[in-house]
Amino acid sequence: MTNMLISYALSIPACAVFIYLVYLLIKTLRKYTKSAPVRNEKAEKAKTLGEVLKKHRMECKMTQEFVAETLGVSRQAVSKWESGLSDPSTTNLIALAKLFGIAPEDLLKEAR
């Protein structure tokens, strides 16, 4: 009987701790879901040069192969630029901007 009372007395604080942890988890999840617009806005602002290049290429409905042929580089080079494995040279960056119909400065301003 004493063991049962001791185990019962120990289980009450354990349940209270468990309930408090669940409460904290729910509170954190609510805060996280409410912050979705802020996270999306930050993600939109924090673009790499490669993401900017890909966005403009897709908006202009161009393939990597078409861009590569126009600039006189390989398709793999364009793929590396867009994935961030390498950056285009200044000459290629100017040519890309001209191909997309925007100023080179605008390409760089979009990239953060």
pLDDT in tens, 79-108: 999 999 999 999 999 999 999 999 999 999
pLDDT of residue 1: 61
Residue that has been written with the tokens 């040069």 in this structure: 49
- The model's pTM: 0.61
Nearest to 108 by CA among 97, 100, 95: 97
3-class secondary-structure state, position 64: helix
Mean pLDDT of 8-15: 72
More confident residue, 71 or 13: 71
b/e string for 44-83 if b means 16 or more Cβ within 10 A? eeeeebbbbbbebbeeeebebeebbeebebeeebbbbbbe
